[in-house]
Every structure is written in C-alpha cells, then in structure tokens.
Amino acid sequence: MLGMPSLRFSDGRAIELPQGEPVGSALDDGAIAVRVGGELRDLSTVPEGDADVEPVDATTEEGLHILRHSTAHVLAQAVCRLKPGAKYAIGPPIENGFYYDFDLDEPFGAEDLPAIEAAMREIVAEDLPFVREELSREEALERFADQPYKREIIEGLDESEGAGAETVSVYRNDGWSDLCLGPHVPSTGRIGAFKLTSLAGAYWRGDEHRRMLQRVYGTAWATEEALQEHLRRLEEAEKRDHRKLGRQLDLFSFPEELGPGLAVWHPRGGVFRKQLEDYVRDLHLARGYELVVSPHVARSILWETSGHTEKYLENMFPRMDRDEASYFVKPMNCPFHVLIYQSQTRSYRDLPMRLSELGTVYRYERVGTLHGLLRARGITQDDSHVICREDQLVQEIRGIFGLTLEIYRTFGFESPVIQLSTKPGMAIGDETMWAHATNVLREALDESGLEFSMAEGEGAFYGPKIDFHFHDAIGRLWQLTTIQCDFALPERFEMEYAGEDNERHRPVMIHRALLGSLERFSGVLIEHYAGAFPLWLSPEQVRFVPVADRHLEHAHRMAGRARELGLRPYVDESSETVGKKIRAAQLMKAPYTLVIGDREVDSGDVSVRDRQGNETRGVAFETFLERIREEADSKALEQTRFAD
Ligand SMILES: [Zn+2]
Ligand SMILES: [Zn+2]
C-alpha cells in the first residue's frame, strides 16, 4: 500500500503516520499500549494501513493489567539475575497485582523479597525495551532449551500463553525472554510503582500430582500514591480480618478435628447468629414466605433427578453407601423444596409459593480456596425458592430486589453493583429456556430501574442469575445476593399445577439467597464493622465493671434488671484493676461499659462509656436502659449519645 497510513482517534481526530513508523510515535506520552482496530497492541506496532486507534493509559483497568503483566516479566527477569538457572513457569496479572511461579533449588524466604525488588528496580532503571518476536516452534524450543515449563507450554500449543501451532510469540528485554501474547509497556522504564508482597507454594498447572513451585506475589500501580493507597487498604483489611477478630471476640473457631472449612460457633457467636437468623426469618415471614425444614442427607436418586450428580459432583462430599442404598450430603436445598411442593396437587391459587429455609449445605471446596467464614465447606444459606406462574415471574423478582435492598440498608450497605450472568459452559436445559429466563431477569431489572452490567457465561448450571455486590466500610466489593431464574428443575422434577383452565401447567422456580450464607455474611459483617457490631447484633451489649468486690452485688443486680428488659449484660468479675477491665471491654468491643463504684452504688446513677471512649457521668440507670433498648430495637447503626 502506498501513502501514509491514517490513524483515526475515537474523538474524531485523524493523523497521518509516516510509512513504517510505530503507532506509538503518534500518541501522547501517557499511553503505555494502544488499541488498533479494537485489538490491544504494543506501541511499537507498525500499522499496515489506515486504522482506528485508541491509546491505553496506565491508570485504566486495561492499562493496569498490562502494567502488572509487564511487572511480572521484570520480576522473573530479576529472579533469573539473582539465581542463574532458575526455572520460571507462568506469571499472570491478577487483581491489584501479579505473581510469578518459580522452580528453584533453594526457595526464597520473606527476607529475600527486598533483594528481588532491588534487582527489579535495576532492570527498571536500565529502561530495556520489551521487544516482540514471532518464533517458529523449533526456534522457540531452542530459545527455551533450559526452561522445561516454557517448553511444556510450547509443546502443549497453549495459545493463552502465546504458543500457537504456527508461531510462538516471545517478549524479550535484553537477553531475557518470556513466552507471551502481550502487549507490554514499551520498556522496563515505564513500569509503575510496585512492591512484592508475599510468597506461597503453588502446584504447576494447579495439579497436586505435579511439582510444587514457589509463587512470588506483588502489587503494581500506575503511581506511587496509588500504591501507597492500596497498601493502606491492605493494612486496614488486615486489622479487620474476621479470622483474627473471630478469635479475639470469641465468636467461632475451626477445630482441626472437624476437617478444613467446618466451623463451630462459640456462645458469643451463637447469640450473634441468633440475632441475624431471627431478623432474616421474621422479615421473610412478614413478606409472605413460609418456613420449611429439610434434612442434611438424601438418596442419590434425588441428586440424579436434579442434575447435581451430573453437573455438580466435584463440589459434593463423596457418596455414602449403606444397605444397598447410596446417599449424598446436600450441597443445595432446592430439590427438597421441590418435594415439599410436590407433596400435594397444586393449583394456580397456591402460587406464588415462597418456601424459605435457613438450610445448611456442604460443599467440597478445594482446601486451597478456603478462607475462614468467607469460604467454608459447611454453610447455612438463607435459601428460598419461589415457585410461581410465568406471568408472576417479573413481579416476584422485583419483590426480591426490594427485600434485598431493605435488608442491606439495615446493615449500612447502600448502592449495590448488580450483574446479570448468562449461560455457562456446563449447563442443563435448552437454549430457548436459557434465553427466556435471561430475558425475564433483564425485564425485572429494567422495570425496577436498577443499573446493571452483563457477565457472560457466569450463570449457575440450571439458570441465569442476578448478583448484588455491596461495598463495605473500607470500599471492598463483596458478592452477596444471588437470584436465579430456573425453568430446568421444574422440568426435571415434572412439577405441575392446575391452571384456571383446568389444564396442567409447569411452574417456574426462582432460587434466591439474599445474605448468601450466614457464614460468609457474618465474615463480611465482622470485617465491615471491624467487630464493633451495632447494638442489636452485639453478643454483649452492656459491660459492668465493678471497682472493687464490694460493688459486685450491685453490678449483678443492675445486670439482672438489664436482662429483664431483654438486653445482654455481662459483669466482669475478675480481680483486675479498673483500667485493665476497661481495656478488656474495649478488646471485646463492648458497646457500653458501666463502671460501678461507691458513688454509683449510693446514687443509683451510672457513668456510661461508649466505644469511642466518650464518658458521661450521672446518667439515671433506668434512662440508660430505656435509651439503649430503643437503640437495639431500632437496629440503629450509630451509638446513643448520652452527653448533653
Ligand atoms: Zn507477558
Ligand atoms: Zn436453589
């Protein structure tokens, strides 16, 4: 082609680029990569003709992805400089950062991370260009002659790693190469702010029969400020870690004897859970749901009919065989609710039927993915199934949106991020059913005026779903609520109702868990509140701190009065000093602490200390009780102020 290629920008601008010049020469300094005709490319790309171009900035999501990926290359290059002969496997970008897996004769310790970082900074200072090369398979095998993991990728034609059947794409800085699809920042000098964060073991290809490699994690950002901001968030998250607070507040534990991912709730956790469960159950009853109960085990035939043995077996605890029957522990509650529906002949007048259960299920999550209460193997879902006529679907789903928003507002979560997920690879039911169910969910979202985005291929195996994500107090996003529309299970179980026309019809099923599971939601709440629960959720609401033993009796009398009013008091009977007792109350995040000494015994008043350490003296005890009872009853998010 003759003449200069013309580059068109999305804002309408056009630039003539001299023949043979890289596209980067026409862009602002801020760009680290570019979209050419919609495809992500290196700045060094020479356009073959006229093209639509869009610069990619390091601060955008795409830009950060490229930046983090490029930083992973530099990490591996640095490790090879420090440990000649190191074998490097793969190193993708991840949320907030990147990792790289290494096979080393002598693994690193945490104390080695600064030295690796220093070697990385040297490579950054050298400002080495990332040079893209297309090699034949033979050339590539030659290039990586002493890198067995790279050779395995090339031999496996792993296209996601750049190893296609025809050519293998390689990125080289200086003499160091990596297999890669790209694109990358133009040179190592364009790497942003980064920090290596941790080490872990990881099996090659995630396969426990393969070799255990050493994974080095890091975080990378476009600017130093963004990096510092992220590190502050991490520090804050660590302080709020629900596993740590769970121990400190004596809420729950994971005894080794139970196996991974199975928790026991201690008395304080038990009260917290009761509060949560009562709230959810009562609200559901008030919204026309009916409570049901189902067992934890059922014969395999049930799971065969539901499709679980076919599509969900990996997530189930192994089968149990006894007396020529086989059983599974339940991974879901749905089939039980179907059987409750089918216990009678149903007519259109019975619909919608909203069956609700705090149903405990067990899922064989991989040990490596378990994370305290946030990801456990035994969980209790606030699980309901709405069985209804097709013409009731949109209305029912909208009702569920309303209930979801109401519940989350109670905990101080606002502005959900909503996603509509479509058919995944592993699925039951035909295309028409999927399209229909997806449209119903979309219609409900449209009518409700809620903003949402699409997540292609992320649905459940039996139907598309809507997820509600909420931001917690430190800005982290949690996926919590799931609502699924399902035409498949009614079909498989041959569910029916008699219509107004006296004909038999098939109902539709909505699966929905609003909190998700009580375990996960509790974990999120603990981190969201940093353990300082609103009064109605607090295991302990008022702590009495007697100054001396002679005040103990009075403290117990007061606690008795509080208990009469339905409050949860606690008397510190230890023989510690008042200062230490107050410190203990703070560690337990006690909402109110009342110090009881001679003055209080004589006057009958109390001095009230809240969580912020505000102290108000001379509050009449009955007034105090009345006001905090109001606070608990109203599920207030803020503490009562007693000062004038
Ligand atoms: Zn790469
Ligand atoms: Zn279900």
Compute, in angstroms, the gap from residue 334 CA to the centroid of ligand 2. Answer: 4
What confidence category does residue 1 fall into, taking pLDDT thresholds of 50, 70 and 90? very low
Choose the catalytic residue: 346, 363, 505, 554: 363
pLDDT for residue 166:
80
CA distance 246 to 375: 15
The H or E element containing residue 633 is: helix 621-633
Residues with CB in 5 Å of ion ligand 2: 334, 511
| 431-448 vs 393-410: helix crossing angle, rounded to 10 | 50
CA of 135 to the centre of ligand 1 (A): 15
* Mean pLDDT value of segment 217-233: 95
Question: What average pLDDT does this structure show over 110-135?
Answer: 95
Distance from the alpha carbon of residue 456 to the mean position of ligand 1, in angstroms: 25
How close is the Cα of 335 to the center of ligand 1, in Å? 46
Ligand 1 centroid, distance to 25 Cα (angstroms)? 22
Question: Which of the following is catalytic: 284, 385, 512, 581?
Answer: 385
Active site residue 383: yes
Task: Kindly state the helix (H) or strand (E) to which residue 218 belongs, with its residue range.
Answer: strand 212-221
Q: How far is the CA of 462 from the centre of ligand 2 (A)?
A: 9
Tell me the pTM: 0.81
How many angstroms is it from 535 CA to the middle of ligand 2?
33
Q: What share of the chain is helix, strand, coil (3-state, %, to 5)?
A: 35, 30, 35
In 3D space, the residue among 357, 288, 278, 286 whose CA is nearest the CA of residue 633 turns out to be: 278
490: its two tokens: 């009614």
What are all long-range contacts of 442-446, with beta carbons under 8 Å and residues at least 24 apart?
A: 443/394, 444/393, 444/394, 444/397, 444/398, 444/401, 445/418, 445/420
- Which residues, other chains included, contact 40 with Cβ-Cβ below 8 Å and sequence gap of 6+? 33, 34, 56, 62, 66, 183
d(CA 286, CA 309): 36
Q: Are 23 and 45 in contact, with CB atoms under 8 Å apart?
A: yes
Tell me, in angstroms, the distance from the centre of ligand 2 to residue 92's CA: 35
pLDDT confidence of 2, banded at 50, 70, 90? low
pLDDT digits (tens, 9 = 90+) for 400-438: 999 999 999 999 999 899 999 998 887 777 888 888 889
Pairing between β-strand 417-421 and β-strand 465-471 as defined by DSSP bridges: antiparallel
pLDDT averaged over every residue in the chain: 93
List the catalytic residue out of 381, 392, 484, 541: 381
**DSSP structure string for 11-32:** TS-EEE--TT--GGGGS-TTEE
Q: Of 365, 287, 300, 372, whose CA–CA distance to 329 is shortest? A: 300
State yes or no: is 511 an active-site residue.
yes
Ion ligand 1 nearby residues (CB, 5 A): 180
Q: Report residue 439 CA to chain centroid gap.
A: 26
CB atoms under 10 Å from CB of 38, counted, come to: 9
Q: Which of 511, 528, 568, 609 is catalytic?
A: 511
pLDDT band for position 164 (50/70/90)?
confident
The tokens describing 288, both together, are 């026309």
Give per-residue pLDDT as tens, 467-506.
999 999 888 899 999 999 988 899 999 999 999 999 999 9
Question: For residue 78, what pLDDT band results from cuts at 50, 70 and 90?
Answer: very high
Shortest-distance ligand to the CA of residue 132:
1
- 381 catalytic per annotation: yes
Cβ contact 485:393 at 8 Å: yes
- Write out the DSSP string of 467-490: EEEEE-TTS-EEEEEEEEEESHHH
Rounded Cα–Cα distance for residues 586 and 606 (Å): 18
Catalytic residue (one of 268, 284, 465, 551): 465
Write out pLDDT tens, residues 357-393. 999 999 999 988 999 999 999 999 999 999 999 999 9
Tokens coding 580: 């230490």
**Closest ligand by atom to 356 CA:** 2
